[in-house]
Amino acid sequence: MSTPLLESAIFDPAETLPVPERRALQARRLAETVRRAAAVPFYRDALGRAGAGADAIRSADDVRRLPFTTKDDLRQSYPLGLLAVPRAELARVHGSSGTTGKPTFVAYTRADLDTWSGLVARFLVAGGLRPEHLVHVAFGYGLFTGGFGLHYGIERVGAAVVPAAGGNTPRQVMLIRDLGAEVLVCTPSYALHIAEVARAEGYRPGELPLRFGHFGGEPWTEEMRITLERELGILAFNNYGLSEVVGPGVAGECSHRTGMHVQEDHFLVECVDPDTLAHVPDGEVGELVFTTLTKQAMPVLRYRTRDLAALDRSPCPCGRTGVRMSRVVGRSDDMLIIRGVNVFPSQVEEALLRVEGTAPHYLIEVSRPGSLDEAVVKVEMRPADFRDEMRQLQELHDRIDREIHAVTGVRMTVELVAPNTLERSAGKAQRVLDHRRTGRA
């Protein structure tokens, strides 16, 4: 039997650094980061334009003098243009999906991987993981940072890993049952799917050995947490990260679940109005902006995440002193996260254009009817594309289906609809209806 949750467990004393000490540490590390970033031509130019350099950094607040970095900047530096170290120093490369079908790559030195594992270990321990536990990891292993990120974090804690990866859910249920995993790690929507499959196979809620789970990789709601906890008989913890910053381990919940503790000794977080870029007060929703403080291979300055959340600096009973972030409540751009994959409407448009003769009038409707995201793409039928034979129409439908999958990496349901049936507001077509956003905290 495993030990009960130890609320006071802290993996790394740095998590409880008094605020003034941490701010001093942040200032030092920020200056180092700026110095490192200046080795990258992109940042050297950007810093030059902003009139800022390492010498300008006296306190952590001086981060505001630095230029922003966007996803576009990363894309334009494809594949590894933002490296701040020689290639020989790289230890690993991960990637996230991009709009063009090409991923944006992120790179790690040996020291980066070491730091990253420690950061993941922190939130795992904060949420109850102990060395005697067995953890079932149902994240994809590969370019995605989730699988390997969690894997090495679990090992750092000293717990055992079952690297189950994604897919074949009945088999996942079997592995969890037979190996007796106490902890589940995956996206929250996949956890719900596992719960559904387990139920379909005759398990009643709580019959699997699982006791708690760490879920991340996509935004989820409090309602989903309640369902997960009820269906799997677990405590469900939220964590946050993005490959551009490091991957999972940027922030995570402790057992008090008062928001996700940002690992402030490694990342500076700001919350800004996405339009004006002015800082918003604590408690108000804005776009999160992260500056890495310790990353070597690919430091990022003021990375605009497009994720909308609020910050909370009130003390947490766990003793951690880092600022906490709320759930991600939405995106400041039009990017959709469908089953953990980033999808832009422009990708769907690109797919439609690839299918000769398809009109660009379409609507992406995303919902989460059960546990998994569902995306429906409604495509207006053009008279010129219409054929009397069912077979030809089906072919058109299937071609659109294949292209959307090829470009976005996500399976969407394609619906051919009659012309002029999709609403156009003020001449501009609405491209996305995200029903998941309703009801989100």
Partner 1 sequence: MKIRQLSLFLENRPGQLRFPCKVLGDAGIDILTMSLADTAQFGILRLVVKEWQRAREVLEAAGVVVNVTEVLAVDVPDRPGGLAGVLEAFEKAGVGVEYMYAFASRERGRHATLLFRLEDPDRAAKLLEAAGVKLVPSDELFARSGA
Locate 234 and state its tokens: 């677990």
Rounded Cα gap, residues 97 and 339, in angstroms: 12
Q: Does residue 363 interact with partner 1 by CB under 8 A?
A: no
Q: Prior bond to 209 cis, omega within 30?
A: no
Q: Which of 337, 277, 284, 344 is nearest to 309 (CA)?
A: 284
Q: Which of 389, 423, 426, 439 binds partner 1 (CB under 8 A)?
A: 389
Q: Which of 3, 421 has the CB closer to partner 1?
A: 421
Rounded Cα gap, residues 407 and 264, in angstroms: 36
Place of tokens 């270990």: 121
Q: Which of 88, 390 has the CB closer to partner 1?
A: 390
Smallest separation, CB 435 to partner 1 (Å): 17
Smallest separation, CB 357 to partner 1 (Å): 13
Smallest separation, CB 404 to partner 1 (Å): 14
Q: Which of 135, 232, 216 is nearest to 183 (CA)?
A: 135
Q: Which of 13, 20, 51, 383 binds partner 1 (CB under 8 A)?
A: 383
Place of tokens 């339009």: 275
Smallest separation, CB 288 to partner 1 (Å): 40
Query: What SS3 state is found at 381?
Result: coil
Question: Which of these segments, 140-148, 198-206, 363-371, 392-400, binds partner 1 (CB under 8 A)?
Answer: 392-400
Rounded Cα gap, residues 25 and 188, in angstroms: 34
Q: Which of 396, 432 has the CB closer to partner 1?
A: 396
Q: Which helix (H) or strand (E) holds 108?
A: strand 104-109
Report which DSSP code applies to 91.
E
Q: Which of 91, 359 has the CB closer to partner 1?
A: 359
Q: Which of 273, 276, 275 is nearest to 285 (CA)?
A: 273
Smallest separation, CB 426 to partner 1 (Å): 20
Locate 106 and state its tokens: 């992120």
Question: Which of these segments, 90-98, 118-126, 359-367, 378-386, binds partner 1 (CB under 8 A)?
Answer: 378-386
What is the footprint of partner 1 within residues 406-435 (CB under 8 A)? 414-421
Query: What SS3 state is found at 434?
Result: strand
Q: Does residue 388 interact with partner 1 by CB under 8 A?
A: yes
Q: Which of 382, 411, 424, 435 binds partner 1 (CB under 8 A)?
A: 382
What is the footprint of partner 1 within residues 193-222 (CB under 8 A)? none
Smallest separation, CB 383 to partner 1 (Å): 5
Smallest separation, CB 362 to partner 1 (Å): 14
Q: Which of 332, 343, 325 is nearest to 406 (CA)?
A: 343
Query: What SS3 state is found at 438?
Result: coil
Rounded Cα gap, residues 66 and 108, in angstroms: 23
Q: Which of 89, 385 has the CB closer to partner 1?
A: 385
Smallest separation, CB 415 to partner 1 (Å): 6
Question: Which of these segments, 211-219, 302-310, 333-341, 381-389, binds partner 1 (CB under 8 A)?
Answer: 381-389
* Residues paired with 292 in a beta bridge: 267
Question: Which of these segments, 40-48, 209-217, 361-369, 383-391, binds partner 1 (CB under 8 A)?
Answer: 383-391
Place of tokens 């939405």: 330
What's the Cα-to-Cα distance from 288 to each of 99, 107, 128, 198, 277, rounded to whole Å? 21, 22, 27, 36, 10
Rounded Cα gap, residues 280 and 328, in angstroms: 16
Q: Which of 92, 378 has the CB closer to partner 1?
A: 378
* # of chain residues touching partner 1 (CB under 8 A): 19
**CB distance 192 to 224 below 8 Å:** yes
Phi, psi angles (nearest 5°) of residue 75: -60, -40
Question: Which of these segments, 63-71, 128-136, 163-171, 386-394, binds partner 1 (CB under 8 A)?
Answer: 386-394
Smallest separation, CB 411 to partner 1 (Å): 15
Locate 42 and state its tokens: 């992109």
Locate 50 and state its tokens: 């902003």
Q: Does residue 390 interact with partner 1 by CB under 8 A?
A: yes
Q: Which of 12, 385 has the CB closer to partner 1?
A: 385
Q: Which of 278, 384 has the CB closer to partner 1?
A: 384
Q: HSE on the CB side for 402, CA within 13 Å?
A: 8
Q: Which of 8, 168, 314, 394 binds partner 1 (CB under 8 A)?
A: 394
Smallest separation, CB 387 to partner 1 (Å): 7
Q: Which of 329, 359 has the CB closer to partner 1?
A: 359
Using CB under 8 A as the criterion, which residues of the chain lie in contact with partner 1 when the complex forms?
381-383, 386-390, 393-394, 397, 414-421
